[in-house]
Amino acid sequence: MVILREMTDAEFPSYRALFIAEYALDLQHSRGYPVQKATDIATHAIDVSLTEGVNTAANSLWCILPEDDENTVIGYFWLVRNTDACWVCDFCLLPAWRGRGFGRVSLAKMEARIVEQQVSEIGLRVAVNNPAAKALYEKSGFQITGFNMIKTIP
């Protein structure tokens, strides 16, 4: 149903723009940040983490493609690995591809791929205002291990 392949240097700017837009929107909804502050934080997050773009050590950036159309990117994974654990920094399916089973299959493909690398644990964060993603992760075997909390100090 899907193929995962390494992101190219040419694809990175489009992914970066999408990440910034989506993460900024998440920060606006979950933390009430104004647009500019949310955008600044999202931009800083990706630029500091992926200093070498797709070639940043310990990071994997993958495009998700439908098997029947290897020219159409339908989503992305950004993973960071340390020893035997992997953190999903970002998993995004483009809106037109959501709710059609591609998320579940993409997660399974990602898991199979990192298991080959002797990874024994996968972690991720899901926004509180994204119950569809939470349900997908739980159906895929993820368990809640805690809660992120924040207090804004004036």
pLDDT digits (tens, 9 = 90+) for 71-107: 999 999 999 999 899 999 999 999 999 999 999 999 9
Residues 91 and 100 sit within 8 Å (Cβ to Cβ): no
pLDDT (0 to 100) of residue 70? 87
Residues 79 and 89 sit within 8 Å (Cβ to Cβ): yes
Order across the sheet with 121-124: list the strands. Answer: 2-6, 59-66, 75-82, 85-93, 121-124
- Model pTM score: 0.93
Among 86, 23, 42, smallest CA distance to 60 is for 86
